[in-house]
Structure 1
């Protein structure tokens, strides 16, 4: 990481998006040139292909409704038709995709930050709903990369909200509910502070329920009263302003029509009531009773409505925590996490992704990665390995963590030894599986596929609980030594290939001494000698060794064919078929 470049915290929202940064030890949200910290998550693609983002794009919606893209978060990482929502635009006709649209929003936020900070930025933490699957998380990460950002972490929104409310400072085993009613979606998550980590116990919600739906219903109410077209964009925009006004006032007006808070609550009540079943389901899934919660926090602009707060109070039987701006809590939490990663704020462990790669040492002292860094957890992955030498009767598996190419430069987390019947090289088959559970515990299972005997190891905490300074040091070293490490890896791989081939060539020459010409034998011996000279050289010329080994392999192709033919002939003789 570049210590001179701040890391951005980004809330990529369905309706609005925000960006922040830690400055002088304080997380702040950045405003655009118009003084607005909130950017509408809208993109307009004009007929000539020009693109506008944010408030400028949203103003185009009345004139170009099929060219103005909103709520794209409902589509990202999903197949066509999978979102259960049909937008008023066609991305295929506009020749774009949810990832590309999201990238335009992120580019805009990046530009806002660079203008405010007066320097370039290239790294970010981006939030996603807790229910986002791998495809949606990866699509969000690709959007960030397309926008020119290195996405250091994909952070769950309820975890970000908990950070913003300072709930990481609670004592152990505290349970928290995050009630998030945004513009396009509703989410309810139950979290627990346990062993210094946030763990999401359960999550539920409705991807088709949000403040936008209430705006639409209020717009229909206003349009009917004033005898206006029900889908008039101006009425829709006015209804949003009226809804916001009624969060603090008892009455608001539009075109001479007075709308009361009672009118709004009558319209909104059936929709708000729909959140109840999700809250009860989340509590049930988490195995938590409402009275066992230590905090209930509100996130999302729609939670400003007094009706929503009344419902939350009733469902959870306690006063919700409203100490933070609900529109900005997730962005603030993302910014805090960005500050933690950048070293400008103290560490809080968040179980969202693996901070460093996990793998094992393979023959030749190389690091073989099984779970790459920034993999969302829980996660599971594995590979099959074999014995590298003949008569080997066990395999020592060293579990490693780090980003370097050579095993010796990474950290050893533990080791297990897997016994198996001795035999020729390559005869044993040992499957190694890594799995990290939601508690951040790494489980390593090694299985001899012949005997089905399992050997297991459990590593608590270390797999994800790594000081940010150590993570930064490891990543920094992996960059600093990238060329040396890669050259050493290429050399080691070329060396192993050569050392494997040379004995095979010698054995073939012995067996076929009477079957090949002196000229052919001389050519093979000469090429083998070249490989041996390069192997013994101190300058470790990997490229030359690799090329020489390839030439030796090609020179002995005819020997390999002859050996196969001879083996087949001997087999036929033994079976009495010749």
Structure 2
């Protein structure tokens, strides 16, 4: 977090260090004195937003050797900018992140509004101008604009019956984190991306991972990590009564609906039987603001590790699907292959199955991943003729 207190603290430390050099006394140890110093630091910060220099004057701030001493310290805007340069630089990250999340370039912005009292600091305004190429608007009080926005949004949701001077402005709320469901291998498959505007309606068709499954569990996740276990599960339900078929044949239509109040409804429907089930998730089930910020930090910190794990799990899932397809094709069409071709396919199938059988995702390396991909490519090549003979519909209907 970054706010006005961070800027105040730099002034406090500057003043206390100067006092200690002059009087050899540490004001940090005097709680009563520190209250006065902090109040004076905040006031100095405000004054430096409109003037080039200010004086911090605190009479009788402490006693040294039995004598009362006063604090008198001049602070220029240039020195203040020097003390807080790294804090101002940290505003760049949120600005760039906001533009990236919105999917727009700085040149596409129509206006930049300043929010929060510390945006009155000239150095902050200049940094925003450098980042966006736009001089920030000062038409709205930065201390009041959030409350004004909340009032406008409340009026909008109340169909413009609350405010007497309704502006007709629509403020769009967004999803703070991505929403996903858990799929085979513990993968978090994204359905709704972070920062999608509300309301949201999205459908995606999934299928079964096991042979002749009659039910599926829908585990709804919130977070930015690619693996389900690293995100928060915010709801689960089970869809039963799926017609038994080979893996990959059933079509399960999963729908995510989020209304303007942020209430999420997730439903799943078997397209074949029409059977459906759903769950409604409110704010009580979702992450708190602190959890959301931690989830975003974790996603950034573990990005490289997560990318490898996602690639690994995707490859294992693809390998398992390939093995299931080749096994079914051999059962149906092996008599149409000559002896050498059948042996080659079975040997390649066994080699890949061996690698998958000993795969432990948490302990696997890039070399292990490369070996699986190589074995998959070999099996795909040797089984190409076999797969051209294979009719999955005939296989599925013959065993259902």
Please report the TM-score for the alignment, with normalisation by the length of structure 2.
Answer: 0.59
Match of 2:104 among 126, 129, 139: 139
Match of 1:202 among 156, 177, 181: 156
Verify: 1:385 aligned to 2:206, yes or no: yes
Other structure's SS at 2:308 match: helix
Aligned to 2:373: 546
Aligned to 2:264: 442
Which range moves more in the overlay, 384-393 or 502-511? Answer: 502-511
Match of 2:7 among 14, 17, 23: 23
- Number of residue pairs aligned between Structure 1 and Structure 2: 291
Other structure's SS at 1:433 match: strand
Q: Which string of whole-angstrom CA distances, capped at 9 and with x for unpartnered residues, describes residues 52-71 of structure 1?
A: xxxxxxxxxxxxxxxxxxxx
Aligned to 1:421: 242
The answer to whether the 8 Å contact 2:234/2:286 transfers is no
Aligned to 2:313: 492
Please report the TM-score for the alignment, with normalisation by the length of structure 1.
Answer: 0.43
- Displacement of 1:430 after TM fit? 2.1
Relative to structure 1, is the Cα distance of residues 163 and 446 closer, same or farther in structure 2, using a 3 angstrom cutoff? farther
Richer in strand (by share):
1
Match of 1:505 among 319, 326, 338: 326
Aligned to 2:297: 476
Relative to structure 1, is the Cα distance of residues 31 and 371 closer, same or farther in structure 2, using a 3 angstrom cutoff? farther
Verify: 1:457 aligned to 2:255, yes or no: no
Other structure's SS at 1:387 match: coil
Other structure's SS at 1:288 match: coil
Other structure's SS at 2:375 match: helix
The answer to whether the 8 Å contact 2:188/2:228 transfers is yes
Cα distance between partner residues in 1 of 2:343 and 2:50: 77
Cα distance between partner residues in 2 of 1:422 and 1:436: 29
The answer to whether the 8 Å contact 2:180/2:222 transfers is yes
The answer to whether the 8 Å contact 1:366/1:406 transfers is yes
Aligned to 1:249: none
Verify: 1:118 aligned to 2:85, yes or no: yes
- Displacement of 1:166 after TM fit? 8.6
Relative to structure 1, is the Cα distance of residues 30 and 381 closer, same or farther in structure 2, using a 3 angstrom cutoff? farther
The answer to whether the 8 Å contact 1:354/1:463 transfers is no
Richer in helix (by share):
2
Cα distance between partner residues in 1 of 2:181 and 2:346: 37
Relative to structure 1, is the Cα distance of residues 439 and 515 closer, same or farther in structure 2, using a 3 angstrom cutoff? closer
- Displacement of 1:396 after TM fit? 1.1
The answer to whether the 8 Å contact 2:102/2:195 transfers is no
Match of 2:143 among 134, 145, 164: 164
Match of 1:286 among 140, 152, 160: 160
Higher relative contact order (CA 8 A, sep 6+): 1
Aligned to 2:64: none
The answer to whether the 8 Å contact 2:180/2:190 transfers is yes
Cα distance between partner residues in 1 of 2:81 and 2:354: 55
Q: Which string of whole-angstrom CA distances, capped at 9 and with x for unpartnered residues, describes residues 418-466 of structure 1?
A: 2233221333322222222222222222233334444232211157662
The answer to whether the 8 Å contact 2:209/2:248 transfers is yes
